C-alpha cells in the first residue's frame, strides 16, 4: 500500500484590488476501499470559513468567500494518502452479453449522465479515424483499451498549447494537448460506442518513473465495464489506473470537477499559478524533496498576459454597447 505526501498550491495574483471573491474547491480526495486520507492540512489566504458538502456525484466540495478587498488568493493543500491496488480486471461473459448489458443500463442512473455526447464540427472525422464502428466487434473492455491506445498514439503531449476552455474541434485540429485534453477525446470515443465514461481529476504519483502528468494535477477517465465496474483508463500514459493514481473528484467533464474555480468583483485581470509536488516514498520527506514550484498556467481571455474574469468581460461588453 503506497503512501504519498502531496502538496498542491494554487495562487491567483490580481493586477489591482478585487472583492467578493467566491470559490469552489475539489481538493478533498475520494475516500473508499481503494483510497484512505490519513491527514489533510488546508490553508487559504484570508482564513475564510470553508463550507464542505457533497455534490450530486458524491464529491466533497469546499465553498468559501472573501468579501474584503485583496490582491491575491492562495490555496495550499497538503495531503497524506494511502492507495490500495485494485483486483485484476475480469474478462467474463460473451461479447453480445456484455454489449446487451450496456444497452440495458444506458437510461439508468448514474450511467445516463456519463453517456451524453458532446457535439462538435469534426465529430464524424474523429470517429472514423478511431474506427469506433469496428471496435464494437471486441468486448467492451478490449474496445475501451483500444480507444485509449488510439488517443495515446495519435495525440502529442505538449504543455501550454491548450487551456481549460479549448474545444474538441481545436484539440482535434492540433492533435496535441495535456492530460485533460486526452481525457476529453477519450470520453467522446467511449460514449459513442455506448460505454459510460466519466472524467476524473486527481494526481499521478509515478515513483520517479517519468510518467506524463507529474508535477501538476492530472486527469483521466473511468469507463463502466460489466463485471468490473468503473475502470480507470489513463490515455496520457496508455495504462489502466491503479495505486499510483490519487482521485480527487469525478464528473461528466472538466467543469464538474475542476480542482479550483471561482469568480470575483473587480476589473483587475489575474495570473494563475499552480504547483504540485509528490513524495515518492512511504513516510515523511525532507523539505527539499517536497519543494513545490509554482508555474503560470495558460488561459484564454487574456489582456497583456492577464486573464480577464467574467465580471471584467461583462463590464467591457456593456461599455462597448454604450459607445455604439
Q: Which among 143, 53, 54 is positioned nearest to 95, based on CA atoms? A: 143
Q: What is the mean pLDDT of residues 187-207?
A: 92
- pLDDT for 132 equals 86
Cis check: omega of the bond before 313, within 30 degrees of 0: no
In a domain, 247, yes or no: no
Count of structural domains, the chain: 2
How sure is the predictor about 99, in pLDDT bands with cuts at 50, 70 and 90? very high
Return d(Cα 311, Cα 267) in angstroms, integer.
7
Residue 292 and residue 161 share a domain: no
In a domain, 248, yes or no: no
255: number of CA atoms within 13 Å, CB side? 3
Return d(Cα 72, Cα 74) in angstroms, integer.
7
Residue 102 and residue 58 share a domain: no
Residue 223 and residue 174 share a domain: yes
In a domain, 90, yes or no: no
Of 27-31, 36-40, 320-324, the one with minimum mean pLDDT is: 320-324
In a domain, 317, yes or no: yes
**pLDDT higher than threshold 50 for residue 201:** yes
Structural domain containing residue 100: 95-241
288 phi and psi, to 5 degrees? -65, -40
Residue 110 and residue 71 share a domain: no
Q: How confident is the model over 213-231, as pLDDT tens digits?
A: 766 789 999 999 999 999 9
> Which of 184, 206, 241 is at the close of a domain?
241
> Which of 187, 209, 241 is at the close of a domain?
241
* Residues 291-320 as b or e (16 or more Cβ within 10 Å = b): ebeeeebbbeeeeeebbbbebbeeeeeeee
Q: How confident is the model over 73-82, as pLDDT tens digits?
A: 999 999 999 9
* String of DSSP letters for 220-286: EEEEEETTTEEEEEETTTTEE--TTEEEEEEESSGGGS-SEEEEEESS--EEEEEEEEEE-SSS---
Residue 229 and residue 139 share a domain: yes
Bigger pLDDT: 282 vs 280: 280
**pLDDT higher than threshold 80 for residue 283:** no
Residue 121 and residue 228 share a domain: yes
Measure the CA angle with vertex 51, ends 48 and 54; round to 5°. 150
**pLDDT higher than threshold 80 for residue 211:** no
The fraction of the chain above a pLDDT of 90, given in percent, is 66
Residue 41 belongs to domain with CATH number: 2.60.40.2250
Residue 162 and residue 43 share a domain: no
3-state secondary structure of 180: helix
Residue 123 and residue 162 share a domain: yes
Residue 181 and residue 161 share a domain: yes
Q: Which among 37, 124, 40, 139 is positioned nearest to 91, based on CA atoms? A: 139
Of 81-85, 170-174, 266-270, the one with minimum mean pLDDT is: 266-270
* String of DSSP letters for 147-178: HHHHHHHHSEE-TTS--TT--HHHHHHHTEE-
Residue 293 and residue 182 share a domain: no
Residue 236 and residue 122 share a domain: yes
Amino acid at each position: 500500500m503506497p503512501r504519498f505526501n502531496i502538496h498542491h498550491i494554487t495562487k491567483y495574483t490580481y493586477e489591482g484590488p478585487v472583492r467578493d471573491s467566491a470559490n469552489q474547491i475539489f481538493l478533498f480526495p475520494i475516500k473508499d476501499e481503494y483510497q484512505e486520507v490519513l491527514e489533510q492540512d488546508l490553508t487559504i489566504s484570508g482564513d475564510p470559513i470553508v463550507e464542505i458538502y457533497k455534490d450530486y456525484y458524491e464529491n466533497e466540495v469546499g465553498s468559501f468567500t472573501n468579501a474584503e478587498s485583496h490582491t491575491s488568493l492562495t490555496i495550499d493543500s497538503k495531503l497524506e494518502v494511502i492507495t490500495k491496488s485494485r483486483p485484476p480486471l475480469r474478462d467474463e461473459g460473451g461479447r453480445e452479453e456484455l454489449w446487451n448489458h450496456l444497452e440495458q443500463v444506458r437510461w439508468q442512473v448514474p450511467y445516463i449522465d456519463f453517456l451524453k455526447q458532446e457535439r462538435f464540427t469534426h465529430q464524424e472525422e474523429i470517429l472514423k479515424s478511431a474506427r469506433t464502428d469496428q471496435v464494437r466487434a471486441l468486448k467492451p473492455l478490449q474496445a475501451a483499451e483500444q480507444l485509449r491506445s488510439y488517443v495515446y498514439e495519435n495525440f502529442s503531449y505538449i504543455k501550454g498549447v491548450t487551456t481549460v476552455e479549448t474545444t474538441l474541434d481545436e484539440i482535434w485540429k492540433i492533435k496535441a494537448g495535456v492530460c485533460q485534453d486526452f481525457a476529453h477525446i477519450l470520453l467522446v470515443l467511449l460514449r459513442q460506442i455506448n460505454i459510460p465514461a466519466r472524467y476524473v481529476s486527481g494526481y499521478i504519483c509515478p515513483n520517479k518513473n517519468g510518467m506524463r502528468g507529474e508535477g501538476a494535477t492530472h486527469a483521466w477517465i473511468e469507463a463502466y465495464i460489466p463485471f468490473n465496474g468503473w475502470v480507470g483508463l489513463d490515455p496520457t500514459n496508455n495504462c489502466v489506473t491503479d495505486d499510483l493514481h490519487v482521485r480527487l473528484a469525478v464528473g461528466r467533464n472538466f467543469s464538474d470537477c475542476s480542482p479550483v474555480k471561482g469568480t470575483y468583483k473587480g476589473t483587475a485581470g489575474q495570473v494563475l499559478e499552480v504547483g504540485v509536488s509528490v513524495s515518492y516514498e512511504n513516510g515523511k520527506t525532507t523539505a527539499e524533496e517536497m519543494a513545490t514550484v509554482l508555474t503560470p498556467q495558460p488561459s484564454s481571455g487574456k489582456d497583456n498576459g492577464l486573464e480577464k474574469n467574467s465580471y471584467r468581460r461583462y463590464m467591457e461588453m456593456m461599455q462597448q454597447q454604450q459607445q455604439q
